[in-house]
Amino acid sequence: MAENLIAPSILSADFARLGQEVENVLAAGADIVHFDVMDNHYVPNLTIGPLVCEALRKHGVTAPIDVHLMVKPVDRIIPDFAKAGATYITFHPEASEHVDRTLQLIQGEGCKAGLVFNPATPLDVLKYVIDKVDMVLLMSVNPGFGGQSFIMSALDKLREARAIIDASGRDIRLEIDGGVKVDNIRAIAEAGADTFVAGSAIFGAGKDGDPNRYDSVIAAM
């Protein structure tokens, strides 16, 4: 079983102080930076692009950056994120015309590739491309916003994804995204996740800018 990783979603960070916010959560024990990219087309919200990813690298962030693309089309933005310092790039199969090609594009750019499944999207495509997948990200909310409630059917889906990943024998991370809190993270881990995105649960604990306020919530996860 892979090491469990905590991935704060910067969607809930204070964007006016983003570099410091990311430093603070990493110092508090977070492992990777979850970077939500929304285009006001595939999802009804608009966030950040490669410039901000590059700015975090220039600021000195060396932790892995986990770029979650909620954009359509996906392919043309991938080289820009690779140049900007992305470690993982994940995308929704519904947003790609050719899923296998997009996975190859990401890996060809030197990044790790992942597929994201919305709450009502079946895992079917996974078996056909599993040899090109480094991460499976299950959405436990509908994508677009932080601060939503965890959709319980994601637990059964995690078990299903865990079985597929284990049967493949490949080193694939199983990430969960949406509504992850201190009080449900154990059940989510037991269902098979090893990488936990948490936005409002982490950044909501430190809104006054006191970095120490992140320590206790990350330690409890």
**All residues at 6 or more sequence positions from 204 whose CB lies less than 8 Å from its CB, including other chains:** 12, 147
Question: Is residue 34 close enough to count as binding ligand DX5 by CB under 6 A?
Answer: yes
Question: How many CB atoms within 10 Å of residue 217?
Answer: 22
- Per CB under 6 A, contacts with ligand DX5 among 117-146 are 141, 143-144, 146
Closest CB to ligand DX5 among residues 67, 82: 67
Per-residue x/- marks for ligand DX5, 64-83, CB under 6 A?
Answer: ----x---------------
Dihedral, CA of residue 193, residue 67, residue 18 and residue 46, to nearest 10 = -110
201 lies in the site for ligand DX5, by CB under 6 A? yes
Burial (0-12, 13-18, 19+ Cβ within 10 Å), 124: exposed
Chosen residue from 177, 180, 205, 206 binding Zn ion by CB under 5 A: 177
Q: Name the percent of the chain in helix, strand, coil, to the closest 5.
A: 40, 20, 40
By CB under 5 A, is residue 36 in contact with Zn ion? yes
Q: Residue 199, interface with ligand DX5 (CB under 6 A)?
A: yes
Instruction: Give the nearer residue to Zn ion in terms of CB position, either 38 or 105.
Output: 38
Minimum CB distance to ligand DX5 smaller for 73 or for 144: 144
